[in-house]
Structure 1
Amino acid sequence: MDALTLLVDGLRLRARLTYWGGVCGDWLMDHNSDTAIWFHLLSKGEGWVHAPAWQPALRLEEGDLIVFLPHAPRHVISYSPSEIPTDFSNVRATSVDEGETGFVCGFIELGMPRSSLWTALPAEILIRKSQAGEILSWLLQLIIKESITPRFGTNSIIERLCDSIFVLVLRHCIEENLVHQGVFAAMQDHRIEPALTRIHREPGRPWTLESLCSLAGLSKTAFSNRFTELVGCPPIEYVATWRMQTAAGLLRETGMTIDDVAERCGYRSVSAFSKIFKRTFGVAPGSFRIARPHDCMAQERESTERRSSA
């Protein structure tokens, strides 16, 4: 497997839907998060993004996809190029067929949202329907069609399709040269990519600078300088960061014990693993496992309350 596949699989990134359907009236999408990637696919009609990156407001049309990373400035999407509603008294949630505008919205939780892995990506990623390319375009149309004609299992199907969308978005950023530094840029370097692939595949291996240099076929100085320039941190520091991100994914998405997670990530001592994990995330591994990021919970609850009152 290539470095990108191993990275996505290792982090166990999963899309969580918050809304798919239609809206009528003076609607507003206010999904900002410091810990999650939010995505919005327009399945019908049009909407406008109000954000510092776009002045005046950015118009979205059917088939357009916009993604906001945690380092994006505050933004909203509304029914109007000039108006931002202050209440929701004139909003109605409907089916896509009945709505003036249709959306598929959701988020992907990140274990370490401020790591260079994510901050090296554009804060806002817009992919127009006309720019999507053949494979991504097909996938977007599948999601739109499934959301318009829901059947048994529609929610699960859309979420899994959205998992694939995120991988294609990452590939789009790489192939369109939207990433100039960080891990995603380093994956394109023929000397650094083999080392990244092995790190992502085997986070628990006792990596040393010497063993990584041998994979790249470079001297310690040359490899260290090249890796640091591209990725943004020294090789061994990246290994430590990757282990923590892997641990976060394993704790959230699997039933593995903390002991097994520690071993999988290269820590022979559970106490040492727990100490480093708490220093990184601010909470012990067990607490991290049972607690989802507060702002994602608040956004999801707020979205549900709005639909219920509509």
Structure 2
Amino acid sequence: MHQMWQIIPALHSHVYWNRKARFLYETDTYDKWCLFVIEDGSFAYGIGEHEGEAASGSLVFCPPNVPFRRRTILPLSFHMFLFDWTWDAPVCAELQAGMDSDLLPAGRVEIRDRNRLRSVCAYLRSLPITSEPSVHFWKNHLLRDCWLMYCAEQHPAPLPTGKATEHPLMDQAALIIRQKAHEPLNLGAVSAALGLTPVQFTRKFHAAYQMTPMDYLITIRLNQACTLLRETDLTLDEIAERCGYQNGYYISRLFTQRLNITPSEFRRMNRI
């Protein structure tokens, strides 16, 4: 299975609309992928089976040759991109066969890092309306930044694999943590089993993995929680129990602190 970040948008055109009161055509169809990046206002949309409303912080994707229905609710400021996807040749073959087509979004997705998205939009607004190659290059770069923001937020806590470090003892520690992460785990007991004090353990582990043992444990548990929120209907307390916590309060606090989102918001935005 290929990953989302292996598929990259290639810009065809970009236009910025400021406080658009209504669409000239409430339904339109494009021969390329279309993306609306919403800065302000809101609108109702329909794209195939996907329907809803989008506002500031939303990206709305429409595949080619699919009718894009839209109606403004509040005067809309947005960037409109037309683009194609680029990828490595093996990925292209699989996508054309329909194997990885679920990687490509349709309808609305949300960007949690609103400050960064606003910054990208400000850069786009500052660029002149011209066909100069240098301007096209920067607009293409900023389009890709929007896409990669979305990709990154779908995988909020990537883990080091625990392999090929120069610290065999810490590789052993990482393996213990991964194996026991989904049950109550005392990191002090792990350090003692390795013949280290907690301070020595933390220092050596950070040198090997660029994070503390506790951060490593939390990252594993958050990854598991994200998977369970996306793929199951378990309650937050049930998810907490499967991730090594006593109740949902700890999971909720970690999501807010580390991912800047609540578990319920994450589930709503990532369930299909």
The alignment's TM-score, normalised by the length of structure 1, stands at 0.38
**Bigger strand fraction:** 2
Higher relative contact order (CA 8 A, sep 6+): 1
